[in-house]
A = this chain, B = another copy of it.
Amino acid sequence: MKPKISDVAKRAGVSPTTVSRVLNNRGYISEETKTRVHQAMKDINYFPNDVARSLFNKRTNVIGLIFPTVANPFFGELTFYIENICTKLGYKVLLCNSLNRVDEEEKYVEMLMRNQVDGIIVGTHNRGIINYHKEHLAVVAIDRNLSETIPVVSSDNYEGGKLATELLLKKGCHHIVHLNGPAELETPAKFRRKAYEDVMRQSGKEPITYEIPATFDRRSQQGIIEQLFDEQVNVDGIFASDDVIAASVLREAKRRGRDVPSDLKVVGYDGTEVTQTLLPELTTIKQPVEQIAQQSVELLLQAIEGKFGELPLETKLPVQLLEGSTT
């Protein structure tokens, strides 16, 4: 059996109350008792049971993370930073990969509620579920508009879309196509699309957007990309919704004998460390991943402390154009 507080108490010859006080450094305790208790804890290799503590305190110091998949470099890196920051601040991270499937997300949210997490950071697209439980839940969204009252942290998507599109124009592209997630998702990524469309129209060009399903399913992504090449035979510039998609575009281009960048120019989005290492040639818009993590956690902790009204509903962080050799 694992030792408990009463075992420590017995061995130190004090009451459980006193052991608890030593543990929490609360109230006055004589140095001598303190030492005896500490020694007893060591002797029997005692560790406090945080489950019991949480039950009493109504505070678990656990936060839930719901992302499509940490297998994607952007979410992997984001999760890494968030977890690190949380650990430093005494919070633990319960991880959920929903692949953007609505039914999964529903189950995850319920699971997190049952486990009494103090808050949730969400990077998936589902609006309804969170709202439903809102009263009891501190929530921050990353790059998703979940509701009118949930703070959103994101990169400056409009600026990113603008930088990407302007670069392609500057480099002489005439027939530029954009790949983006489904329009109905209402994510701030729609501002990437908006920027693309604005810039295109300003220079008298017709914007064309192909929509990639949100399910992170390679096959359907590949399908859309092939469709794009099939239908847009004159395409000479592609602004992809993320770097992995951009990589698939490069691959398909190669397969079709299109030379990059002379024949076709490609810009991605995200610019994670891994992408930068594996595919440094890719021109991309770099999101400030660590800053996004930092801001999200900070806002969430404030929400947990009950400072709802004072939280900024929108936090836009600066992007950076990284020019490689695909443009």
Is A219 on the interface with B (CB-CB < 8 A)? no
Q: Which residue of B lies closest to A111 (CB)?
A: B92
- Once the chains bind, are A79 and B70 in contact (CB under 8 Å)? yes
Is A84 on the interface with B (CB-CB < 8 A)? yes
Is A52 on the interface with B (CB-CB < 8 A)? yes
Q: Could you tell me which A residues sit within 8 Å of B by CB distance?
A: 2, 47-52, 54-55, 60, 62, 65, 69-73, 76-77, 79-80, 83-84, 87, 92-97, 107-108, 110-111, 113-116, 136, 218, 243-244, 247-248, 251, 272-275, 277-280
- Once the chains bind, are B277 and A47 in contact (CB under 8 Å)? no
Task: Report B-chain residues with C-beta under 8 Å of the C-beta of A2.
Answer: 136
Q: Which residue of B lies closest to A57 (CB)?
A: B51
Task: Report B-chain residues with C-beta under 8 Å of the C-beta of A79.
Answer: 70-71, 95
Known contacts A73-B73, A76-B70, A277-B244: does B47 contact A110 (CB below 8 Å)?
A: yes
- Once the chains bind, are B275 and A278 in contact (CB under 8 Å)? yes
Can you report 19 A-B residue pairs in the complex whose CB atoms are below 8 A from each other?
A49-B116, A50-B115, A50-B116, A51-B51, A55-B55, A70-B76, A71-B73, A71-B274, A72-B274, A73-B76, A79-B95, A87-B96, A93-B94, A94-B94, A95-B95, A244-B274, A244-B278, A248-B277, A275-B278
- Once the chains bind, are B277 and A251 in contact (CB under 8 Å)? yes
Task: Report B-chain residues with C-beta under 8 Å of the C-beta of A273.
Answer: 71, 218
- Once the chains bind, are A116 and B83 in contact (CB under 8 Å)? no
Q: Smallest distance from the beta carbon of A86 to chain B beta carbons, Å?
A: 10
- Once the chains bind, are A49 and B114 in contact (CB under 8 Å)? yes
Q: Smallest distance from the beta carbon of A135 to chain B beta carbons, Å?
A: 9
- Once the chains bind, are A70 and B60 in contact (CB under 8 Å)? no
- Once the chains bind, are B115 and A92 in contact (CB under 8 Å)? yes
Q: Give the complex CA separation of A107 and B55 in angstroms.
A: 22
Task: Report B-chain residues with C-beta under 8 Å of the C-beta of A80.
Answer: 69-71, 97
Q: Smallest distance from the beta carbon of A199 to chain B beta carbons, Å?
A: 27
Task: Report B-chain residues with C-beta under 8 Å of the C-beta of A84.
Answer: 97
Known contacts A95-B93, A280-B251: does B70 contact A113 (CB below 8 Å)?
A: no
Q: Smallest distance from the beta carbon of A92 to chain B beta carbons, Å?
A: 6
Q: Give the complex CA separation of A10 and B326 in angstroms.
A: 67
Task: Report B-chain residues with C-beta under 8 Å of the C-beta of A277.
Answer: 218, 244, 247-248, 251
A69, A71, A79 — most chain B CB neighbours (10 Å): A71
Q: Give the complex CA separation of A110 and B48 in angstroms.
A: 10
Q: Give the complex CA separation of A48 and B116 in angstroms.
A: 10
Q: Give the complex CA separation of A80 and B75 in angstroms.
A: 11
Q: Which residue of B lies closest to A93 (CB)?
A: B95
- Once the chains bind, are A50 and B218 in contact (CB under 8 Å)? no
- Once the chains bind, are B280 and A279 in contact (CB under 8 Å)? no
Q: Which residue of B lies closest to A282 (CB)?
A: B278
Q: Give the complex CA separation of A69 and B77 in angstroms.
A: 8
Q: Smallest distance from the beta carbon of A288 to chain B beta carbons, Å?
A: 15
Task: Report B-chain residues with C-beta under 8 Å of the C-beta of A72.
Answer: 76, 274
Please name the 7 residue pairs, one residue from A and one from B, whose CB atoms are nearest each other, closest first. A76-B76, A71-B80, A278-B278, A50-B114, A71-B77, A95-B95, A247-B278
Q: Give the complex CA separation of A60 and B55 in angstroms.
A: 13
Q: Give the complex CA separation of A47 and B50 in angstroms.
A: 21
